């Protein structure tokens, strides 16, 4: 049953639908990628300050992160609850799809630029909308409490949350609400129950050839002809040896079960030149998503050995720089029940005829016959957390506690946390047909198709937050379970401390938009 405050929040969302839609499109069109979300972060900070929040920018030493607070004391004394929510807003390189029914990049950019895939544009605005709806209800009904809203950059490399966690930004919360768009069954319009996301490690190996003259001796000439004499293989060779050796050993690094992955990306290589000197610097990033910290440590030890040998064989030295070390997630059934109640009150998203018309146009442009009901039935259906859990467990060994990866997991060790999903739009497909990637990306930016998810998630966030603020028993149940699962709360016998022992990796050559004499462009040039 919805309280008076809940009704106020739901009414707020209905009245602000046009704003939420426009805001979602704004962040979608920014399309800024990990550690370089300058416009997106500034947009959030400006709006939050306009709405009365105190905002710390650059939180945790990350230029595109922030932490906002707003408190309603409502004339009472004593400790009041603090509820946490957050926004993500990083996009993915190589996914520059316009919010259109045809495959094309956003205006003025090439296909290699950043674009929202999950989409984090809808994720962040859903949480922001829930935050503002909660604030409006608190003000109208005199509800005491504090709202904390963090800006989380670089989620795609699991960047900010381990750092925020280690620096105390999630401490003192009575509840943290984590929302994510989803379409992969069975986690569609539901709440995670027991099997939360696993651990993730990511690092950059930097190979530096800064003494190439030491590789081989000259023929006695006082000034070696380094352009033509025997020279060190250099950093590019080191990187390629590292890449190939680790690729060859990948299947031996971890056991073949549990849904794990290791991926790599070359950040810097070659330092483009027409000369024939050895490359002085090359960098390769690895990202592993694994169920346990022990598995992550196992892979790291193999990669470390590969890097040391690659450097030794190529006249280089190697440095390892951490991008992230995140913990596996911790369940909280009390929080899950609170949010499941909220999601049932709101109901699953629904796509109207205007959205279906857009979807049919996309189907035609993707090369298939348009369908009368183009959206997956599951996108408009709720599934109970325990039922989703049972389906999820079918393909997992009983001993595996965590599966897949997302860095919200670091929050779960500092506050009672819920993780819930609302369906993003996904289309039915004929047997044997797979949609190209641009289709999902476009559906995440077109207002008719993405707005139903945003509105549903916004309402669910607000009702969850208000339940935690108004219902002391529900709040205590969540906190008691957190204390029990951690063996005494933060620092308890079962608690896993933050793994972050590194500074924010913001100084690397992360892909980004650049401004030159030729104008503003993505870092990979447009074809002539």
Strand partners of residue 146: 71, 82
The answer to whether residues 123 and 239 belong to one domain is no
Range ranked top by mean pLDDT from 77-91, 317-331, 505-519? 317-331
The answer on 336 and 323 residing in a single domain is no
Is pLDDT at 218 greater than 60 in this prediction?
A: no
Sign, CA dihedral 320-324-329-330, equals: positive
Residue 389's domain is classified under what CATH number?
A: 3.40.630.10
Name all contacts of 371-378 with Cβ < 8 Å and 24+ positions apart. Answer: 371/427, 371/428, 373/428, 374/427, 374/428, 375/351, 375/425, 375/426, 375/427, 375/428, 376/183, 376/423, 376/426, 376/427, 376/428, 378/185, 378/188, 378/189, 378/423
Residue 294, number of CB atoms within 10 A of its CB: 9
* Residues 454, 460, 462: CA angle, nearest 5 degrees: 100
Confidence tier at 258 by pLDDT (50, 70, 90): low
pLDDT at 73: 82
Query: Total structural domains in the chain?
Result: 2
Same domain, 144 and 259: no
Find where tokens 């030493």 sit: 61
Q: Is the domain of 384 the same as that of 467?
A: yes
pLDDT at 404 exceeding the cut of 90 = no
Predicted local confidence at residue 51, as pLDDT: 98
Pick the closest to residue 6 from 455, 389, 346 (CA basis). Answer: 346
Distance CA 409, CA 498 (A): 11
CA distances from 350 to 168, 256, 380, 425 (A): 39, 39, 6, 10
The boundaries of the domain holding residue 20 are 4-198+329-486
Could you tell me if 174 and 275 lie in one domain? Answer: no
Least reliable range by pLDDT among 70-74, 217-221, 314-318: 217-221
Q: Are 148 and 241 contained in the same domain?
A: no
Q: What is the mean pLDDT of residues 49-75?
A: 94
Confidence label for 354 from pLDDT (cuts 50, 70 and 90): very high
Cα–Cα distance, 374 to 364 (Å, whole number): 11
Query: Does the structure show a pLDDT above 90 at 14?
Result: yes
Q: Classify residue 497: in a domain, yes or no.
A: no
Quick one: which H or E segment has residue 464?
helix 447-470
Contacts of 360 (CB under 8 A, 6+ apart): 370, 371, 374
> Which pLDDT does position 226 carry in this prediction?
56
The whole-angstrom separation of Cα 492 and Cα 479 is: 14
The pLDDT, as a whole number, for residue 141 is 96
| Interval 166-176: pLDDT, tens | 999 999 999 99
Residue 527, pLDDT score:
73
C-alpha dist (Å) from residue 183 to 10, 20, 112, 378, 406: 24, 21, 25, 8, 15
Strand partners, 522: 513
Q: Is 181 in a helix, a strand, or coil?
A: strand
- What Rg do the C-alpha atoms of the chain give, in angstroms? 25
For every residue of 497-519, DSSP letters joined together read PP---S---TTS----EEEETTE
∠ at Cα 445 (440, 450), nearest 5°?
85
What is the pLDDT at residue 50? Answer: 98
Same domain as 204, residue 151? no
| Domain identity same for 144 and 273 | no
Q: List Cβ neighbours of 98 (8 Å cut-off, separation of 6 or more).
A: 104, 105, 106, 107, 442, 445
What's the rounded Cα separation, in Å, for the pair 213 and 226? 8
| Phi-psi map region of 261: left, alpha, beta (phi>0 left; psi -120 to 50 alpha) | beta
pLDDT at 222 over 60: no
- Asked if the structure places residue 343 within a domain, the reply is yes
**Above pLDDT 90, what percent of the chain?**
81
pLDDT tens digit sequence for 277-297: 788 899 999 999 999 999 999
Residue whose token pair is 């768009």: 181
What per-residue confidence (pLDDT) applies to 519?
A: 83
Task: Indicate whether this model's pTM tops 0.85.
Answer: yes
Of 327, 350, 366, at which residue does a domain stop? 327
CATH code of 227's domain: 3.30.70.360
Q: What is the mean pLDDT of residues 101-116?
A: 95
pLDDT averaged over the chain? 93
pLDDT of 190 above 70: yes
pLDDT at 203: 97
**47 lies in a domain?**
yes
Separation of alpha carbons 245 and 443, rounded Å: 39
Does residue 278 lie within any of the structural domains?
yes
Helix (H) or strand (E) holding 191: strand 190-191
Closest alpha carbon to 415 in 490, 340, 500: 490
319 close to 306: Cβ distance less than 8 angstroms: no
Mean pLDDT value of segment 376-397: 95
Closest CA to 26 of 526, 435, 461, 454: 454
- 362: its two tokens: 């996309």
Based on the fold, state whether residues 10 and 145 are members of the same structural domain: yes
What pLDDT score was predicted for residue 510? 94
Statement to judge: residues 303 and 383 lie in one domain:
no
* pLDDT confidence of residue 405: 85
511 assigned to some structural domain: no
Average pLDDT over residues 146-173: 97
Token digits for 490?
A: 């933060």
Beta strands in 50-184 (DSSP E): 54-57, 66-72, 82-88, 145-152, 175-182
How high is the pLDDT of residue 279?
85
pLDDT digits (tens, 9 = 90+) for 439-473: 999 999 999 999 999 999 999 999 999 999 999 99
Indicate whether 219 pLDDT > 70: no
Question: Distance between CA 180 and CA 457 in Å, rounded?
Answer: 9
Domain co-membership, 102 together with 212 = no
**Residue 166 covered by a domain:** yes
Q: Which residue has the higher pLDDT, 239 or 519?
A: 239
In this model, does residue 213 exceed pLDDT 80? no
Query: Does a structural domain hold residue 493?
Result: no
Please check whether residues 24 and 134 belong to one and the same domain: yes
Rounded to an integer, the average pLDDT of 331-340 is 98
Query: Residue 159 in contact with residue 322, Cβ under 8 Å?
Result: no
The answer to whether 433 touches 382, Cβ cutoff 8 Å, is no
* CA distance to 253, 292, 409, per residue, from 248 (Å): 10, 23, 30
Q: What is the DSSP letter of 98?
A: -
- Tell me the pLDDT band of 76, cut-offs 50, 70 and 90: low
Q: Is residue 293 situated within a structural domain? A: yes
What pLDDT was estimated at residue 518? 81
Last residue of a domain, one of 288, 307, 327: 327
């Amino acid at each position: 049953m919805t309280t008076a405050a809940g009704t106020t929040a739901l009414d707020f969302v209905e009245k602000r639908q046009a704003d939420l839609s426009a805001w979602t499109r704004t962040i979608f069109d920014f399309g800024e990628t990990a550690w370089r979300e300058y416009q997106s972060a500034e947009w959030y900070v400006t709006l939050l300050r306009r709405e009365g929040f105190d905002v710390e920018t650059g939180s945790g030493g990350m230029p595109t992160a922030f932490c906002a607070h707003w408190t309603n004391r409502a004339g009472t004394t004593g400790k009041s609850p603090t509820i946490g929510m957050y926004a993500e807003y990083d996009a993915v390189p190589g996914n520059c799809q316009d919010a259109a029914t045809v495959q094309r990049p956003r205006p003025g950019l090439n296909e290699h630029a950043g674009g929202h895939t999950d989409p984090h544009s809808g994720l962040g605005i859903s949480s922001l909308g829930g935050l503002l709806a909660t604030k409006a209800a608190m003000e109208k009904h005199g509800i005491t409490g504090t709202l904390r809203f963090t800006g989380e950059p670089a989620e795609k490399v699991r960047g900010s949350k381990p750092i925020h966690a280690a620096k105390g930004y999630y401490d003192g919360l009575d509840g943290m609400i984590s929302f994510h768009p989803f379409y992969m069954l069975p986690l569609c319009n539901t709440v995670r129950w027991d099997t939360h996301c696993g651990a993730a490690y990511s690092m950059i190996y930097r190979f530096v050839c800064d003494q190439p003259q030491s590789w081989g001796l000259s023929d006695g000439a006082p000034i070696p002809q380094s352009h033509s004499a025997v020279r060190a293989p250099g950093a590019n060779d080191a990187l390629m040896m590292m890449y190939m050796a680790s690729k060859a050993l990948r299947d031996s690094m971890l056991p073949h079960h549990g849904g794990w992955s290791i991926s790599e990306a070359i950040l810097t290589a070659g330092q483009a030149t027409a000369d024939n000197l050895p490359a002085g610097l090359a960098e390769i990033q690895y990202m592993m998503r694994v169920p346990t910290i022990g598995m992550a440590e196992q892979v790291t030890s193999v990669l470390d050995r590969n890097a040391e040998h690659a450097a030794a064989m190529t006249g280089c030295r190697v440095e390892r720089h951490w991008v992230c070390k995140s913990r596996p997630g911790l369940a909280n059934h009390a929080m899950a029940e609170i949010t499941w109640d909220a999601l049932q009150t709101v109901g699953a998203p629904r796509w109207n005829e205007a959205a279906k018309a857009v979807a049919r146009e996309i189907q035609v442009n993707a090369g298939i016959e348009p369908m009368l009901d183009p959206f997956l039935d599951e996108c408009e259906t709720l599934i109970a957390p325990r039922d989703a859990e049972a389906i999820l467990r079918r393909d997992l060994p009983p001993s595996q506690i965590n599966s897949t990866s997302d860095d919200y997991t670091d929050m779960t060790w500092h506050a009672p946390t819920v993780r819930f999903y609302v369906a993003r739009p996904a289309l039915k497909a004929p047997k044997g047909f797979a949609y190209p990637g641009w289709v999902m990306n476009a559906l995440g930016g077109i207002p008719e198709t993405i707005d139903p998810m945003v509105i549903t998630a916004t309402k669910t966030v607000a009702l969850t937050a208000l339940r935690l603020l108004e219902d002391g028993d529900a709040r205590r149940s969540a906190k008691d379970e957190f204390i029990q699962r951690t063996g005494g709360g933060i620092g308890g016998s079962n608690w896993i401390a933050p793994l972050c022992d590194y500074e924010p990796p913001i100084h690397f050559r992360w892909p980004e938009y650049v401004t030159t004499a030729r104008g503003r462009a993505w870092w990979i040039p447009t074809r002539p």
